[in-house]
Each structure stands twice: as structure tokens, then as C-alpha cells.
Amino acid sequence: MLAGVIYSGKQGRMNNKTIIIVGGGTAGWMVAAALSRFLEHGYNIQLVESDELGTIGVGEATIPQIQLFNKALGIDENEFMRATNGSFKLGIQFVDWLRPGHSYMHAFGTIGRDLGLIPFHQYWLRARALGSNASLDAYTLSGSAAFANKFMRGAPTVNAPMGAAAYAFHFDAGLYAQYLRRIAEARGVVRTEGKITSVALAPLTGYVENVSLEHGLTLQGDIFIDCSGFRGLLIEEALHTGYDDWSKWLPCDRALAVPCAPAPVLTPYTRSTAQSAGWQWRIPLQHRTGNGHVYCSAYTSDDAAANTLMKNLDGKALTNPRPLKFVTGKRKKIWNKNVIAMGLAAGFLEPLESTSIHLIQSAIQRFINFIPGINISSIDVEVFNAQIDFEYERVRDFIILHYKANQRDDPFWRACREMPIPQALTDKIELFKTNGRIVRFNEELFAEAGWLQVMSGQGIEPQNYHPLADQPSEEDLLGFLSAIRLAVSQGVHAMPSHAEYITEHCRATGHYA
């Protein structure tokens, strides 16, 4: 399609355009904080939300890319951690996913060190064929540190060959939203309290012109960011964009969330434990542990799911479980006319790999890349949507992999094992099963190390390895791998405990504790 003007804003390049953010919470205030940082001139940024409606707030775990977002906003990491009762995250432990009694870690960062022209894991596969039983965790600083409950920023030893451990965060999503609100409002974002009662569309174009609040105020804008949650007030209720339902691949449709008292040991990783009809998350914060049970209502009742959740807590529940119903999928267009959906308004992928907050971050970055000057161009919108679609679909496939490759006997898990899956995922699995190859396409989120850990952890075994892995002698190969394991072990030994590191650098105080 040729580029064409599909919306004309106010005349003059970037002359006082108004961006209205509908909805607060994590998504709304991430958008507000980022736009107020990078759109300093020529834009009026407003956010409208209602305290009565509240937010979902299920996402408290992140992936390492969140560091880039915080740094771009000029956020001091220790201050942020104190303000959000945060802890550090080195990866995700998957318990009982392959079968009961089995577990593995999807750790952040690199695995081992590449040698020559082929990736490290090809040498690891050859060593396994020779009888080695060393797990992938032994070659990852983040993975080994996670199991040892150790953490530090920066390289743990002088001239450390493994470098620093890659990490992300656990934090209280509500406190994070409050923290970003303070930043955004200090930079000029105007917040309006109230419920939106009507949305006005332009008669000729069907674009959103304004939103009216229950107390009579009307807010006019050029661009609207819909952060209204599952409801999709603008993107769906006003524009009828449509929704791609992915429940045939990801059948879980409900969740229960509950915080509990913290465990004695503050672990630096998220834990995901498979249950008979879904899975349970555990996210350790300084002041509490976040827990939830994602499940499929066709295979278990709400009461049974709640019982499963409550009997697997670290300590006393701090509230009653909060229910959530959802349909996995995304809007057919994330950007439709002059509305861009973000957060739950854009779509929902269960938080198995902690991608919820990242998908907000990614959408913000793409919107800034494509932000209109005088006009909104159709080709910009098409490419933006194509990029977002690709990212959602590849994340979707990565999550499906966890369900598809299992050896459990429960009816739910058997159904997942037998279900047809997207062709792109089938190809990825077959490529790995033949010769251990992993190919990353375009800008898909998860790198080769992530696919390797999950495919291997879920029991997918390559039939062969790359022939170049046979080039080193057996003695040289085993010596090379032993040296990496030693470097990892020494690095972990030099680290303080996770709790000690937080106490020294970023312990929450005052009303956050």
C-alpha cells in the first residue's frame, strides 16, 4: 500500500499536539513518564484515570530490558528498588513442567562462551554425548547464582571471564506506577481524575475527537493512548477493532492472585510451578511474596484452583485471592486510526515469561519511533502494527513451547501435548531436534539462550550436534568446559547473598517497608 495521509492534526510541525492517555496503572504511567521525557516540546500530555476503577496489576516480574527503560528515564536504580520494595531477578525456575519432580532454570544472559564459528551449546551437546551430565546452569553465572541465592551488580571477580550476571527486577507494580507518576507529573503531565462516560468520533474519519467525563469535563486530543485494561474503552468499545483469540494454543483463561508474608530466604528468581490444570507463580519482594495461579476453567473449578494456590504459599495470606478472567490474544490492530492500545488494552499473554511489562515498554519505544509530525501516515501505522504483531506472535510461540513439550499425565497437560501449534514454532522445534540449531528471526524478543534453556528443560533432545563441535580433541573439549564451570563457580562464590546485597544498597524504608 502506498503511503497516504489518514489523519491531519493541527497545522504546523509538532505545534502543540495533545496526547491523551486513557487509564493509569503500570501501563498508563509508563507511557506518561516516557513521553514526558522524550517529547519535551510541542506536545501536551494528559492522563485521565479513575481511582474507583483500580488496576489489574498482576505483573510484578520483569526481564532485563526494563533496565534500559529505567535508565532512559534517568531513574536511580537503588532509589527505584527502595520505592517499589523491589528485589533482583536472575531468571525463572520452572518446577514440575516437564514432569513432577523435575525442574530447570531459564536464566538471563549468555551461556558459556562461544568457540570458533559455532555457539557454545553445540560443544555442550557433544560433551553430553560423551557422557557429561553437567547442566546448562553450571555454565551460566545468572543461573548458578540464582540457585545459590547470590547476587551482585558488576563482575564478581577481577578480570572475570564470564562478566557480570544479567538481571531484571521483581517489584510491586502499584508502587512502580506511583513512582512513575511522580516523575511524569514533575515533567508536566497533567492528570485528570474521573470516569469516562462517552467517546466522540469524528463523523468523516471515525477518529476519536474527545472523551467526556462523568463530571462534565471534555478532553480533546490529537492522539489517544488506550491503557484502559481488558475493556479497551477506545480501541474496542469505540473503534470496534476486533481481537485475535489465541486460546486454542493457550487455553488457560483464569487467574487468582494473592500476596503472602515473605519467606525466610529472599530468592533472586521467579518460580513457576506446574499444577494439574495450569501453573502457579511466586515472586519474592522485600515486604511480601506475590503469588498467583493461572489455570484453565475447563479442567478445574475456581474453588479447586483457589485451594491449590492457598496451600502452596510461603506464609500467611495477606488478602483474599483476587480473581481475573481473560482470553489470551491481542487486538487485530494495536494502532487503529488515532488510537494506540498499550498494556491489557492491547492484548494479554499470561505472565509465564514475565513479558507483560516488556510489551508495554516495547510498544512505547515503537510509538516514539513512529510518532507523527503533522500527519499520521497509513504506511507508518501498517509497519508499526506489523512489528507489534510479530513480537506478540513470537512471544506467544515461546509460551506455547512450555505447554506443548511436556511429559505429564494430567488431562490438561495431555491435551496441551497433543494440540496443533503454529508452524513457526513447529519449525523451531524441528530445527533444534535434528542438529541442535536455534535461529533467531528479525527482532524476536527471546534470544538463542532462552530457546535453548526452555527446549532442553522441556525435554526436547537433539538427535545430533553441529559437526564442527568435533574439531577439538576430547581432552581439549572437556578442559574448555571445565574452565567455564570453574569460572562460574568462582564468580558465584565471590558474590554476597541476595538479601545482604539488598540490605547494603537498596533496602526499602519508611512507608514502603
Instruction: Give the strand pairing for 270-275 and 91-95.
Output: parallel
Cross-strand partners of 54: none
Cross-strand partners of 289: 260, 284
Report the predicted TM-score, pTM, of the whole model to 2 decimal places: 0.94
Q: What is the DSSP string of 341-368?
A: E-GGGTEE--GGGS-HHHHHHHHHHHHH
Domain borders along the chain are 5-86+171-247+327-376, 109-166+422-499, 254-325
Q: What is the DSSP string of 206-258?
A: --EEEEEETTS-EEE-SEEEE--GGG-IIIIIIT---EEE-TTT----EEEEE
Q: Which amino acid is at 375?
A: N
* Burial state string for 151-167 with b = 16 or more CB within 10 A and e = fewer than 16: bbeebbeeebebeebbb
What is the predicted pLDDT for the residue at 158? Answer: 67
> In this structure, which CATH number among 3.50.50.60, 3.40.30.10, 2.60.40.720, 3.40.1190.20 belongs to the domain 5-86+171-247+327-376?
3.50.50.60
Q: Looking at the annotation, which residues are catalytic?
A: 89
**Of 83, 41, 91, whose CA–CA distance to 64 is shortest?**
91
What is the predicted pLDDT for the residue at 162? Answer: 77
Alpha carbons 71 and 80: distance in angstroms, whole number: 11
Low-confidence ranges of the chain (pLDDT < 50): 1-14, 511-513
Alpha carbons 31 and 196: distance in angstroms, whole number: 19
Nine cell digits for residue 195:
470516569
Alpha carbons 155 and 491: distance in angstroms, whole number: 8
What is the predicted pLDDT for the residue at 163? Answer: 83
Instruction: Give the strand pairing for 87-89 and 168-170.
Output: antiparallel
Alpha carbons 320 and 16: distance in angstroms, whole number: 47
**Of 165, 182, 155, whose CA–CA distance to 79 is shortest?**
182
Give counts: helices (H), strands (E), the chain. Answer: 14, 23
Neighbours of 297 (CB within 10 A): 15
Cα-to-chain-centroid distance, residue 367: 18
